[in-house]
Structure 1
Amino acid sequence: MRILVIGGNGMLGHSVVEKLRALGHEVVVGGRHNADVDVDISSPESIREMYEAVPNLDHVISTAGQTTAMPLADMKPEDNDLSVQSKLLGQVNLVLIGQHYLKDNGSFTLTTGVKKDDPIAGGASAAMANGGITAFVKSAAIDLERGLRINSISPNIVEESFEQQKEIFMGFTPVPLSKVSDAFVKSVVGKQTGQEYKIYS
């Protein structure tokens, strides 16, 4: 299968890419830097150009999306816009636009995160975006046509980045990166739709 992984140069995305390639799939990496195809998911036009440049896709995975991390008391509407335009609307638009490009019986797999279920200080903006994606996936699953599927993955903080972020995730039990990337493989090669795979332990 031909699979596009947006954010495939990041830690999580790279792990997903490696697992899929090991299974024999053709994987195209999308991103803003050093990718096979350039894309800025905060721009609908950039998303359209990406799909035009990479035809005959079976599946699309997003491990991309920026969010704002700051205390609520300091946050202004424009600060929150990053989470809205990138993590939330960016991933939604990958589906809204991409549904017209994917092959029959293809799929979308989006990324959320633990902050929406287990809040941390300064995480309100990210939690909002993650919760919005979760609700969108559940509802979009019943509307997608041509056998298209959609799921989301909600990972905990991973072991490989815990040391750098342990101050804000104090008390959390990190999970192996490999376990999170396995969930993406399950979403792509399986038949489920409208699901949220929570990898919290």
Structure 2
Amino acid sequence: MKVVVIGASGTLGRAVCAELKQRHEVIEVGATRGDYHVDATNLPSVERLFHDIGRVDAVVATIGKVHFGPFHEMTADQFWVGLRDKLMGQINVVLAAQHHVNDGGSFTLTGGILADEPIREGINATTVNFALEGFVRGAAIELPRGLRINLVSPTILEESVQAYGSYFRGFEPVSAQRAALAFSRSVEGAQTGRIYRVGS
């Protein structure tokens, strides 16, 4: 299969690419690094990306920033970080790429454990991750031509503990390599509208 991984240079993206490259042609896309570059928050940029790449069999998105901070101090601009970047960035990918994915192809998006387990200062991430799950469930019954869409929802990655561990006290981290297996399950499987939870 020809698989596009958007966010390929990130911690999770690198692990997903390594997993999928064992069996498939992987096109690595990033904001500034990779085979192609894209600003996923800008729909015309995503449309140009897939116009340039052409037909593909699967699209994986491992992108998205969110804002961590106390809700009582949060501004609308800070809350928009997650809505614009992680939520609409991934939705833009599906909006643009649906016209370039071959019949029976798939999308795999990235959410996170905070949809199920809210933490202090994580309200932006909880909102965005939960919205992404709703988008996947809704899109799964509307995508044409047998296109599939799933979401991987990992807990905190072992590789991210140093940066974010203080927010996730009591959570058992998982390796990016383990999380990447769920992306493989989505890309190479047959299910749609599924949320693959990795860790707890």
Task: Give the shorter-chain TM-score range.
Answer: over 0.9
Q: Partner of 2:166: helix, strand, or coil?
A: coil
- For 1:30 and 1:178, how far apart are their aligned partners in 2? 19
* 1:176 Cα deviation after fit: 2.3
Q: Is the 8 A contact 1:41 1:65 kept in 2?
A: no
* 1:163 Cα deviation after fit: 3.3
* 1:165 Cα deviation after fit: 2.3
Moved over 3 A (4+): none
- Equivalences for residues 1-201 of structure 1 within 5 A: 1-23=1-23, 25-201=24-200
Q: Partner of 2:182: helix, strand, or coil?
A: helix
* 1:121 Cα deviation after fit: 1.5
- For 1:5 and 1:97, how far apart are their aligned partners in 2? 14
> What is the root-mean-square deviation in Å for CA atoms of aligned residues?
1.0
- For 1:32 and 1:176, how far apart are their aligned partners in 2? 24
- For 1:166 and 1:95, how far apart are their aligned partners in 2? 31
* 1:164 Cα deviation after fit: 3.3
- Give the TM-score normalised by structure 2: 0.97
Aligned residues: 200
- For 2:92 and 2:160, how far apart are their aligned partners in 1? 28
* 1:161 Cα deviation after fit: 2.1
Q: Partner of 2:56: helix, strand, or coil?
A: coil
- For 2:22 and 2:127, how far apart are their aligned partners in 1? 35
% of aligned pairs identical? 40
Q: 1:76-108 deviations in whole A, cap 9, x for unaligned?
A: 111111111111111112112211111111100
Q: Partner of 1:154: helix, strand, or coil?
A: strand
- Give the TM-score normalised by structure 1: 0.96
Q: Is the 8 A contact 1:6 1:63 kept in 2?
A: yes
- 1:8 partner letter: A
Q: Partner of 2:103: helix, strand, or coil?
A: coil
- For 1:156 and 1:30, how far apart are their aligned partners in 2? 24
- For 1:33 and 1:127, how far apart are their aligned partners in 2? 27
- For 2:21 and 2:180, how far apart are their aligned partners in 1? 12
